[in-house]
A and B are shown apart, each in its own frame.
Chain A
């Protein structure tokens, strides 16, 4: 039971991590919490579903799964770029305060969610089963194949993110822009391009997590509100820290699974929030704050 819970928690946490690092990335560049990500996740979960409908005759199992994820990631990136164009670019031109970005991004999130509500809420949809075997034994417990897939692919996506940020020119540009989005222009970088790229990366991660969430639960327009989990995880991790966000997300996943098994799904979020608040009282700067202090 213990091992089972921990494994489930890690798998859930790895999905939250995808959302949380997207938050951390955008928080670093634009200095606000990008709640439009929720809307992006809703749309991509449906986009992935549509792709699975179209492709399920032609592909199966792993290939189908990969195609669905790719479709969701691409649509997430495209929608995030559109959100940047519509909701953020003008604010950047006028050098607005972060609170305007925040409002603008929440508005976009609600807009996207409601567009899906209009077009899709009258029916229930759920993803097809991608894998023939549903569970395999591991560490003496049965682990769901989808859980393992979610975990493995989340890790792969996070590694890809780290690769982009630390091994590519664009990644270096994005990291430099985190410190000073104006000064990077003097290095010949185009901030519009860097900000859009960062949002597209975050949107693609959101797309992957949208599919995972859609598979875990059923599809419903409010699915994107799971974005709050990513936000909580990134706050736990220390806002803006990518590594902190991952650790925060895994902790959150494990906490949730344990609370669900102790007090039930209804009360679990309450306890999770209590733990988070208590933690932030002790460590206002989150987990990454601890790491930074230890280094110093």
Chain B
């Protein structure tokens, strides 16, 4: 099992390595724009709970980015499936559905970690240093586990690459903005707060931010992410069977 899991992961890594010179700039552009527009230009005089807006924003960006980048594995899978028919090559090999999903999810997590590093470096350039402790990385790990698992499942269900693009704009983009990434959730009315706490990204943003300020985030956030991720993961394994016909 480990063998074929590694094979699936290794393939994604080789492809990513080939594209790294294009990926790193693309990982930097949108965070950089957010930092300039919201953090630098607009947020100069804003202070939230004793932190500058820039300090508040960067963990939010990291939460958002680890979500979008781990979810981006869905596009890779779909391009491989619909344009290059690689999915068949893997399906014809003695690879269990579990190993396949695990390999792809791991690739999504790796991608999220690398893009997080890019944002941390950008943050340094704006003079922001965060506490990158174990709890910080664990929150990123769980967050990308959730969204990479979701991505693989959805990639198996869609019928074309166009559907995939649609899903991203309906599922991921709203979450990116609503989950406490750019503004404190206390600004929402109470019913709104309750609503956004259903979203895993809210828990991720909270845990990442709290950890990066050197605090101990609530364990409940980690548990929510962990169990959501497990559920998505196992649904994805079932979805692989559906994709075969």
A binds B: no
Which A residues form the contact surface with B (CB < 8 A)?
Answer: none
Which B residues form the contact surface with A (CB < 8 A)?
Answer: none
